[in-house]
Chains A and B, each alone.
Chain A
Amino acid sequence: MEDNIIKIENVKFKYGKEDNKYAVDGVSLNIKKGQFTAIIGHNGSGKSTLAKLINSILLPTEGKIFVKGMDTSDDSKLWDIRQTAGMVFQNPDNQLVATIVEEDIAFGPENQGVEPSEIRKRVDAALNTVGMYEYRRRPPHLLSGGQKQRIAIAGILALNSDCIILDEPTAMLDPSGRVEVMETLKKLNKIGKTIVLITHYMDEAVQADRVVVMDKGNIRLDGTPKEVFSNLDAIKKFGLDVPQVTELAQVLIKEGVDLPSDIIYVKELVDLLCQ
């Protein structure tokens, strides 16, 4: 069994032939099966491009990407790759196809030519996993942003994808919608799905197993949330924020409170302060 579900080997990519700047500039990254990885970086850091490269929507200019051992530039494997690494996009409105929730979730398996009775089973299972079963007959435009994004995730689940790549799924949601989506992702990770979450929000990134920081098309930091966010200066240099709790802890340390410098969870700080 292959341990790394996604292998990125020294990949470079530029959008136009004449562009002299690479959007992704020599990235190498391995993602283990079952891992929850967050990729962060400010606008134009190449993180969304990287996601599209993994899903074979874009092909690398140089280098290779393997999804479960399949080369993304191999045309004959295209549909297997897209099935293995399902992708959820930023705008919840622009990725739902059908006029009824359950029809939309069925869209993926229908494209694969799955038997009708099997599609029914998958759709029901996916709806239950994201907790939207009672909404199955609603038209998507009457749902909230968080609910729409959960439907989009369910649509990928129905494809039986091992890995789910999410390109800023919470960017257009309100805070409660963001929490909904994060809870769903954590639940999926628990049942063994590999999650690659591209995000702007540090509070979401700290919930991952691993955080990758991108800047100018390259990976700058890579490690557990604690390792990455204790690098306060580096993070600020790449135009990113640290989680609010970390910021607060740093201020407290400056004021002379005795605290470790790698606090990233609210609970952690509360426990330490209340000792």
Chain B
Amino acid sequence: MFKNLTIGQHYPVESPVHSLDPRVKIIMTFAFIISLFLIESFVTYLYVIAFLAVAIISSKVPFKFVLRGLRPIFFIILITFIINILMTPGNVIIFELGFIKITDAGLRQAGFMALRLTLLIMGTSLLTLTTSPILLTDGIENLLNPFKKIGVPAHELAMMMTIALRFIPTLMEETEKIMKAQKSRGADFESGNVINRAKNLIPLLVPLFISAFRRADELAMAMEARCYRGGENRTRMRQLKMEMGDYVAIFIFVIYFAMIIVSKIW
């Protein structure tokens, strides 16, 4: 049941996008999202789509993997689309039936929102598809470091993410083991309605939680035995380094972003 679960959705191939510094990718993704909300014409969206397409092609990630990210939020996009159509007031009424009014402005607004959300998800999927969870964690820690002074626990967040990633497979394995053990004693995890099925999970969750806490206790002791004392004065073996490719990517991205601003001013 958990065999096919991969952590995150990293698609490990070698490509110019994969080898970019994670910090560069994270910042570019954020800037890309901002750019999506600056745009106010469909023609400019064509330009954004072309840019994203180039990024996806050079990442060597199959297109369907990028689209896969859309599946869970398909309904959100659909609902946003419908609400925007119905709720935006406009001058030209295209269609009217009782209280339902569809205006030209409504259609336009709904189209924008659906496009924005779709492109936003595809852009962020590209980030997680091309960056391993470890590098992503490193990148986030590094980017948050300057904010330590105002109380952002950068190291602690990164440590939590690392430990979570480390223990997901271990706990999965354990869940499977407990499930088998409880099934052999007659527990039923598959039949009944939703409420019954949720209730039946109790004999699975209780032992799982107890063991997770015991693991946490032991891990804390092992970490202390290895001289762990928080983020102060800690060094890292792997240092993030900007390379030629990163500067090229930044250069391309700056041009992309500048063009969008130019199109807005016009």
Q: Of A87, A94, A110, which one neighbours B236 at CB under 8 angstroms? A: A110
Q: Which of B225, B233, B239 has the most CB of A within 10 A?
A: B225
B225 close to A86 (CB less than 8 A):
yes
Given A57-B225, A99-B134, A103-B134, A113:B162 Cβ within 8 A: no
Interface string of B151-172 (1 = CB under 8 A from A): 0000000000011011001100
A100 CB to nearest B CB, Å: 6
A52 to B236: give the CA distance in the assembly, Å. 28
A167 CB to nearest B CB, Å: 10
Residue A248 CB within 8 A of the other chain: no
Main secondary structure on B side of the interface with A: helix
A106 CB to nearest B CB, Å: 4
Stretch at the interface among A35-43, A64-72, A116-124, A264-272: A116-124
Residue B5 CB within 8 A of the other chain: no
Chain B residues positioned under 8 Å from A155 (CB to CB): 226
B247 CB to nearest A CB, Å: 22
Given A103-B238, A116-B237, A119-B235, A55:B225 Cβ within 8 A: yes
Residue B264 CB within 8 A of the other chain: no
Q: Which residue of B lies closest to A89 (CB)?
A: B222
B224 close to A115 (CB less than 8 A):
no
Q: Which residue of B lies closest to A105 (CB)?
A: B237
A140 to B236: give the CA distance in the assembly, Å. 19
A110 close to B229 (CB less than 8 A):
no
B140 CB to nearest A CB, Å: 15
Residue B203 CB within 8 A of the other chain: no
A210 to B222: give the CA distance in the assembly, Å. 26
Given A57-B224, A108-B227, A97:B235 Cβ within 8 A: no
Pick the 6 closest A-B CB pairs, nearest first.
A95-B222, A106-B237, A94-B218, A141-B169, A119-B237, A108-B226
User: Which residues on A are within 8 Å of B, measured CB to CB?
Assistant: 55, 57, 79, 82-83, 86-87, 89, 91, 93-100, 102-103, 106-116, 119-120, 123, 139-141, 155-156, 159
